[in-house]
Amino acid sequence: MEKKQKRVVTELEYLGMSGWEKFCYKFISFFKKLPTVFLHFFTATIPALALRFWDAFSGIFKKLWIAMKNGDWKTRLSFLVMGFGQFTRGQVMRGVVYLVFEILFILFMALFGAGQLALFGGPGYTETTAGGWIVDPVTGQEKYVTAAVGDNSLLVLLYGILTMIFIVAFVYAWYSNVKAAYYAQEMKEAGQRLPSAMDDLHSFADTQYHKTLLAIPLLGLVIFTIFPIIFMVFVAFTNYDMQHMPPAHLFQWVGLANFKAVFGGSLSGGTQFGMVFGRILLWTVIWAVFATFTNYLLGMVVAIMINKKGIRLKKLWRTVLIMTVAVPQFVSLLLMSQMLGDYGIINSLMQNWGLTTAPIKFLSDGTIAKVTIILVNIWIGIPYTMLMVSGILMNIPADLYESARIDGAGAFRQYFKITLPYVLHVTTPYLISNFVGNLNNFGVIYLLTGGGPTMAIAGVDGAGETDLLITWLYKLIMDKKLYGVASVISILMFLITGIISLVTYNRSASVKNEEDFM
């Protein structure tokens, strides 16, 4: 029997294939490659990552061990008294800063942080007792006893997380203190001059200037973005909802109950979160695909049409389209939602003209509303793409088209071989950010339909046919106050949008062949 040989398609052979064969070849080789890709991911990518992580992690302890082993008594005492190494080697300011930080940390933990951490999670809560009237036994008069406010689980969670962040910061400071003490010792041993307090201060305007510049933005980022995200992740594991509004009723940890609810289970209240989540996710993806690609393709078609040689009044056409951009988007959307209403001007006119007998439910029938939304979005979205693509089109060297014409390429071939690759190459990052933006396109949906009409199914708790995940989330938080479940959905949305943007962006031609059109 002949030994089965692995057939390798050479580049020449590939180029010689017909279009259909090329497609089949690509299709088959994609699936052939899949197992290898997965195998590579599990056998190479993950172990490599783990190794790198382990190296970084063990490096910390190695450095600590070396400092312990080779350090003199000054360095070794720095393990206990932060800043001691610096202090005794003449770096008074550094030493004082470390020491003050240590003292502050110990005071904070003793007076406040330890208590908050002990309460963190809830078994030790003191409940609030409501106020009420009692009859004074002596005078016989009614007297009001004021409510005794107990713990507030929201504040406990907040302070608990702050304490944990503080602990992490302290551990880091402690580590850098040991490292710096050992470094100072080595410098001294090598006979080098240690930087003085003045040198340290000057370095913030010189070698460490980036730190000075970034301090405030970084602080803002931590306070307004990172901290709320951490907080939200914690809330996802609690039963923080309408029935557990602190301080009257405290919320507790519920483990993975919220996650289970979103993945097919249900929570008290009987809402079918799993079913609703599935439906809304499906519509969100459909919406994002349509909203992104209809705008993109039609905008490009319009731009090409306007850009075509021999078209008159180019400036006029462009101006007309740009007018829709000049009106703030929310104004157009609000007007549209009024005009398209069941008894809005469009339906009234059509009925007056005898075109229809009953109002068309542009925004109040689930399926029609979905189509309407996509159409309205096309109307407000095309000008942006047109504007951008026009600029790119004008940049494509004309000689490319000329040589294509000489070689006998028709209009379609020119489009697919020159225009599309060129435009796509420049705009892929825009397409990706647009797609992710559409996944979270709150404005269009909220202003046009508000997510409505309500799904005509029992057990959806107010979720609408045209709700995107983001507008549903808004309802869950603002109307239903289901903070726990809402946090789970935010986490999922974060994962979905994050993964899509990262993967597509890294695989796009713009990143891979960065220099192609340079």
Partner 1 sequence: MKKFLSFVLCGALAVTGVVSLAACGEKKPGLTVWGPSAQQESLTQMIAAFKEANPDITYDIAVGVCAEGDGYSMMSNDPQSGADVFAFANDQLVNLYSIGALSPLAPSTVTALKASDDLTAVESGKLGDNYYGYPYAADNGFFLYYDSSVVSAEQAKTVDGVIEACKAAGKSFIFEGTNSWYALSFAYGAGGKYTPTYDGATLKSVEVNFDQKPDGGQYSYGQLGGFQLAEILQESCTKVGDDTLIDNELTSGTFGACIRGTWKGDAIKNALGEHYAATVLPTWVGIDGETYKWYSFAGCKLFGVNGYSKHPEDAHKLAAFLSSEKMQDKRFDDNAIGPSNKKVAAQEKVQKNVAVSTMMKQISTASVIQVSMPSNYWSEADAFGQAMNKFDLNDTAESLQELVVQMVTAMKAATSTPAQ
> Which residue's CB is nearer to partner 1, number 239 or number 427?
239
Residue 144 engages partner 1 in binding (rule: CB under 8 A): yes
> CA 33 to CA 497: how far, in whole Å?
26
Question: Please, are residues 517 and 422 in contact by the beta-carbon 8 Å criterion?
Answer: yes
With CB under 8 A as the contact rule, which of the stretches 117-125, 248-256, 394-402, 433-441 interacts with partner 1?
248-256
Bridge partners, residue 129, by sequence: 148
Among 56, 80, 198, 456, which residue interacts with partner 1 (rule: CB under 8 A)?
A: 456
Structure letter (DSSP) for residue 110: I
Phi-psi region of 340 (alpha: psi -120 to 50; beta: other; left: phi over 0): alpha
d(CA 2, CA 14): 25
For the bound state, the minimum distance from the C-beta of residue 489 to partner 1, rounded and expressed in Å, comes to 17
Residue with smaller CB distance to partner 1, 244 or 279: 244
90: left (phi over 0), alpha (psi -120 to 50) or beta: left
Stretch that binds partner 1, among 22-30, 57-65, 316-324, 336-344 (CB under 8 A): 336-344
Helix (H, G, I), strand (E, B) or coil at 144: strand
Closer to partner 1 by CB, 257 or 400: give it. Answer: 257
Integer Cα distance of 177 and 185 in angstroms: 12
Which of 9, 39, 107, 155 lies at the binding interface for partner 1 (CB under 8 A)? 155
Task: Report the distance separating Cα 68 and Cα 337, nearest Å.
Answer: 71
- From 19, 35, 270, 410, residue interacting with partner 1 (rule: CB under 8 A): 270
Q: How far is CA 303 from the centre of its chain?
A: 32
Give the list of residues 6+ apart from residue 491 with CB closer than 8 angstroms, or none: 232, 233, 236
The CB-of-450 to partner 1 minimum distance in angstroms stands at 13
Mask of contacts with partner 1, 271-310, x by CB under 8 A?
x---------------------------------------
Closer to partner 1 by Cβ: residue 151 or 342: 342
Q: Which of 86, 153, 177, 239 binds partner 1 (CB under 8 A)?
A: 239
State yes or no: residue 453 binds partner 1 (CB under 8 A): yes
Q: How far is the CB of 502 from partner 1 (least distance, A)?
A: 31
Specify whether the CB–CB gap between 94 and 88 falls below 8 A.
Answer: no
| Residues lying near partner 1 in the complex (CB under 8 A) | 128, 130-133, 142-144, 146-147, 149, 155, 158, 239, 242-245, 247-249, 252, 254, 257, 266-271, 341-343, 357-358, 364-365, 453-462, 478-481
